[in-house]
Amino acid sequence: MKRLLIPVLFGTLVFGVLAVPKVWLALGFFEEGGWIYAKTYFTRILIDFLFAWVIAVVVWLQLERRPWITTFAFCFSVLLASVFWFTPIKNAPRSFRQEMAFIYDFIEAAPMRELPRVPRIVERGAEPANIQEKAPANARTFEPIKLGPKEQVEKTFYSLLRSLKKYEYESVFTLADARTWTYFTELKELALTADREELEKLRPIDRFQVLALRHIKNAEQLSEINEKSLFRQAVLQGWFFVGDKPDVRIDFIDILSGGNEAQADIIVNSIIPDNRLEFIKEGGAWKMNLLQLLPTQEEKLMATFQERGQSETEFFWNFLKQETGKDPDPEIWDPVIEVPEQG
């Protein structure tokens, strides 16, 4: 029996290590949905343990009680059983994803979903007497489930992705919040009045857009352009497009206190960006702050000129020349309209 200690010790150690994320997953489901969801995963852990030991005991008895072969059989059985945990881990609740984030370097996470809800059953009595075909007394009917705030936010996000991909700027206009519109009003003002010192304080992507506007349009055209035209141009140039499903997916949604604002995490090519998306309810509809997508585009922009071994200015100048066929004038650093000094 002493030889049995080897498979018992090694087998228990291997099973314990692999059981840690499984137990954490079960606890995550317990925290989010209660025992009704968690019991399945706790039961599966027990089944995995029993399955591995049954295989190990059979090998022990059939192969003349060889401890190392038995240990190998047990470990292999545990690994085999763990393969069937990939799907639950891909669909794990948020608490597990945060605590076990390293796992998602190897397993691609599925979009976050709320646990299934049971539709409400409404008891109805007999229909009014003036209707010829009466429903049976106490008939049970299913009341359709209306979209909750999280589902509405998710719908807004995916509608925006589709519209951005197809350059449907009118649809994008209706789904963008007031902060996005304010950005284009301020962008026009910068294009007209900002001097070089002020431009150099801007984010690279904002600085590039101001210089591009000055390069493409003259002073009269810049004065006449409105924020809607700038917004349309941004959509057509793909400023906000970060991808489409399945490469871009919404991961988790928080409805903030008051119920009129929300924040969401997204997954872009298996990476969760640092900036959370912001949504706000305006006029009864959920709208998104598209400015939260600009950092992703800015990272792409900066990575491009770094790969080419160019400075930011060299890259911008070459890009503008390539797009318009003319060399940028150094004067685009100067304001189009001189703002009189006060005092």
The string of pLDDT tens digits covering residues 254-276 is: 899 888 999 988 887 777 777 78
- Residue 118, pLDDT > 50, answer no
Structural domain contains residue 56: yes
Looking at the structure, tell me whether residues 298 and 161 fall in a common domain.
Answer: yes
Mean pLDDT check: name the lowest of 46-60, 132-146, 299-313.
132-146
Find the mean pLDDT for residues 72-99.
Answer: 73
The percent of residues in the chain predicted with pLDDT above 70, rounded, is 76
Structural domain contains residue 128: no
pLDDT in tens, 207-223: 888 998 898 888 888 88
Give me the number of domains the chain comprises. Answer: 2
Contact (Cβ atoms closer than 8 angstroms) between residue 262 and residue 254: yes
Mean pLDDT check: name the lowest of 31-45, 120-134, 171-185, 233-247.
120-134
Give residue 76's domain range: 2-105
Find the mean pLDDT for residues 276-305.
Answer: 86
Looking at the structure, tell me whether residues 314 and 189 fall in a common domain.
Answer: yes
Looking at the structure, tell me whether residues 85 and 156 fall in a common domain.
Answer: no
pLDDT in tens, 25-76: 778 777 766 676 677 878 888 887 787 778 777 776 776 667 777 777 777 7
Structural domain contains residue 265: yes
Find the mean pLDDT for residues 131-136.
Answer: 50
Find the mean pLDDT for residues 82-99.
Answer: 71
pLDDT at 7: 66
Other Cβ atoms within 10 Å of 153 Cβ, number: 23
Q: Which residues 6+ apart lie within 8 Å of 278 measured at CB?
A: 177, 179, 261, 262, 263, 288, 289, 292
Structural domain contains residue 244: yes
Helix ranges restricted to H, the chain:
5-33, 35-62, 67-83, 86-90, 94-99, 149-165, 169-175, 178-193, 196-199, 204-216, 219-224, 227-236, 294-307, 312-324
- Residue 134, pLDDT > 60, answer no
Looking at the structure, tell me whether residues 100 and 182 fall in a common domain.
Answer: no
- Residue 319, pLDDT > 90, answer no
The mean predicted confidence, pLDDT, of the chain is: 78
Question: Last residue of a domain, which of 75, 105, 135?
Answer: 105
Looking at the structure, tell me whether residues 98 and 158 fall in a common domain.
Answer: no
Question: Last residue of a domain, which of 76, 105, 134?
Answer: 105
Q: Who has greater pLDDT, 241 or 64?
A: 241
Looking at the structure, tell me whether residues 45 and 173 fall in a common domain.
Answer: no
Q: Which residues of 287-310 are buried (b: 16+ CB within 10 A; e: fewer)?
A: bbbbbbbbebeeeebeeebeeeee
Structural domain contains residue 203: yes
Looking at the structure, tell me whether residues 195 and 317 fall in a common domain.
Answer: yes
Looking at the structure, tell me whether residues 246 and 320 fall in a common domain.
Answer: yes
Question: Last residue of a domain, which of 39, 73, 105?
Answer: 105
Structural domain contains residue 124: no
